[in-house]
């Protein structure tokens, strides 16, 4: 009887452990880097109205909607400002990776929810590839490439 109970307990522990292992792999955040090497990061412009690279303009706007950030990747020059405008109908909280600590670029953190219709602005003074997320919905992510 004890042996059967021990076997059932062991199977349950393995099943729960396997579930959490699979769950953590499927929700694992993208690896963050602060270098200029972009071999594994291929910027994509998902919004035709917003330029991916802004060499003439000093302002870049990233819209936050019901599907997340658009464009998801922007390339800017060091010292340029990016405005994150909330058009989602819910609060957003822009913050650098990793979630929830935001320690990769700690200055790049709104530190609070941004209401619909409001914006968060940040001037990127550090060169690198900076991944970020919505702290309130961490699966929504983006990348700012600062050259």
Residue-wise pLDDT for 59-95, tens only, equals 799 999 999 999 999 999 999 999 999 999 999 999 9
Q: What are the domain boundaries of the chain?
A: 59-146
Just give the CATH number of 59-146.
2.60.40.420
- What average pLDDT does the chain have? 77
For residues 30 and 131, the answer to whether their CB atoms sit within 8 Å is yes
For residues 83 and 104, the answer to whether their CB atoms sit within 8 Å is no
Residue with tokens 């060499």: 55
DSSP H or E segment with residue 69? strand 68-70
Q: Is the pTM of this model over 0.75?
A: no
For residues 119 and 85, the answer to whether their CB atoms sit within 8 Å is yes
Residues 6+ apart with CB under 8 A from 34: 104, 105, 126, 128, 129, 130
pLDDT surpasses 50 at 123: yes
Percent of the chain with pLDDT over 70: 63
For residues 134 and 70, the answer to whether their CB atoms sit within 8 Å is no
């Amino acid at each position: 009887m004890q042996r059967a109970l021990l076997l059932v307990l062991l199977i349950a522990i393995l099943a729960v452990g396997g579930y959490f292992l699979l769950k953590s792999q499927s929700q694992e955040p993208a690896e963050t880097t602060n270098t200029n090497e972009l071999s594994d990061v291929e910027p994509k412009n998902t919004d035709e109205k917003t330029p991916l690279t802004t060499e003439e303009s000093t302002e870049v706007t990233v819209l936050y909607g019901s599907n997340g950030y658009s464009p998801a990747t922007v390339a800017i020059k060091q010292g340029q400002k990016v405005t994150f405008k909330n058009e989602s109908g819910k609060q957003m909280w822009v913050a650098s990776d990793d979630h929830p600590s935001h320690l990769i670029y700690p200055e790049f953190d709104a530190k609070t929810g941004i209401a619909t219709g409001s914006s968060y602005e940040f001037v990127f003074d550090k060169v690198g590839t900076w991944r970020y997320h919505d702290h309130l919905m961490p699966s929504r992510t983006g990348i700012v490439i600062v050259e």
